[in-house]
Amino acid sequence: MSTLGRVASAEPAAVDPAAPPYNAAQNRIIAAAIELFAEHGVGGTSLSMIADAVGVTKAAVYHHFKMKEEIVLAAAQAELANLEAAIDTAEAEPNRSRAREVLVARIVDLAVERRRMESTLLSDPVIVRFFAHHEPYLRVMDRLYRLLTGEGAVPDARVSAAMLTAAIGGAVMHPLVADLPDEALRSQLLHLARRFLDLPD
């Protein structure tokens, strides 16, 4: 059943050019969009808001992206790339347990550093629906839970990986911890995440 990637041309095509090489102007737009999406949600963010944040007009934005959907896609992929970079680093580690340690630490850093963004974006309904059948995303997630659990795509490993990433991502944007300084949040988060994985203190 290798219908993988063989996109039917009759489709509205969903806009997945899978073409991450953007220029400087495009990257400024993407960066602004990410912040706004995190604050207002994808649906609550207009092109005017993005254009204003960048300091240009809507028409200028449309010169770089044909549709809003393309910006959403680019923003989601940009955040996904951060996660992928963390996985790359972890996979370079020689032994399994060390790889898990590095991965967890990186993900915690990433989440705290970017607070709401990484998390809010990757949990936005629009983006979740998009990623649910997005091959590159699924591959990243596959690598992620292999690293975390040392196993393949068995259900237990998937639930575990989903919980840990949701826990880290969701915790940093939780109102309960909004007033905690980054460092306190980071260390506590790391401690608890390690415990979740049965890593030594």
Among 32, 64, 144, 148, which residue sits at the site for DNA (rule: CB under 7 A)? Answer: 64
Among 120, 146, 147, 148, which residue sits at the site for a copy of itself (rule: CB under 8 A)? Answer: 120
Residue 142 within binding range of DNA, rule CB under 7 A: no
Q: Contact letters (x/-) for a copy of itself, 51-70, by CB under 8 A?
A: --------------------
- 30 interface partner picked from a copy of itself, DNA, none, CB below 5 to 8 A per type: none
Contact 106, 86 (CB under 8 A): yes
Residue 48 within binding range of DNA, rule CB under 7 A: yes
Residue 139 within binding range of DNA, rule CB under 7 A: no
SS3 letters across the chain:
CCCCCCCCCCCCCCCCCCCCCCCHHHHHHHHHHHHHHHHHCCCCCCHHHHHHHHCCCHHHHHHHCCCHHHHHHHHHHHHHHHHHHHHHHHHCCCCHHHHHHHHHHHHHHHHHHHCHHHHHHHHCHHHHHHHCCCHHHHHHHHHHHHHHHCCCCCHHHHHHHHHHHHHHHHHHCCHHHCCCCHHHHHHHHHHHHHHHCCCCC
Residue 109 within binding range of DNA, rule CB under 7 A: no
- 101 interface partner picked from a copy of itself, DNA, none, CB below 5 to 8 A per type: none
Token output for 106 = 């990186």
Residue 195 within binding range of a copy of itself, rule CB under 8 A: yes
Among 33, 90, 102, 173, which residue sits at the site for a copy of itself (rule: CB under 8 A)? Answer: 173
CB of 46 to DNA, least distance (A): 3
Contact 56, 92 (CB under 8 A): no
**Rounded Cα distance, 80 and 84, in Å:** 6
Residue 152 within binding range of a copy of itself, rule CB under 8 A: no
Which parts of this chain interact with a copy of itself (CB under 8 A)?
38-45, 116, 120, 123-126, 128-129, 131-132, 137-138, 141, 145, 155-156, 158-171, 173-178, 180, 184-185, 188-189, 192-193, 195-196
Which parts of this chain interact with DNA (CB under 7 A)?
23, 25, 45-49, 55-60, 62-64, 66-69
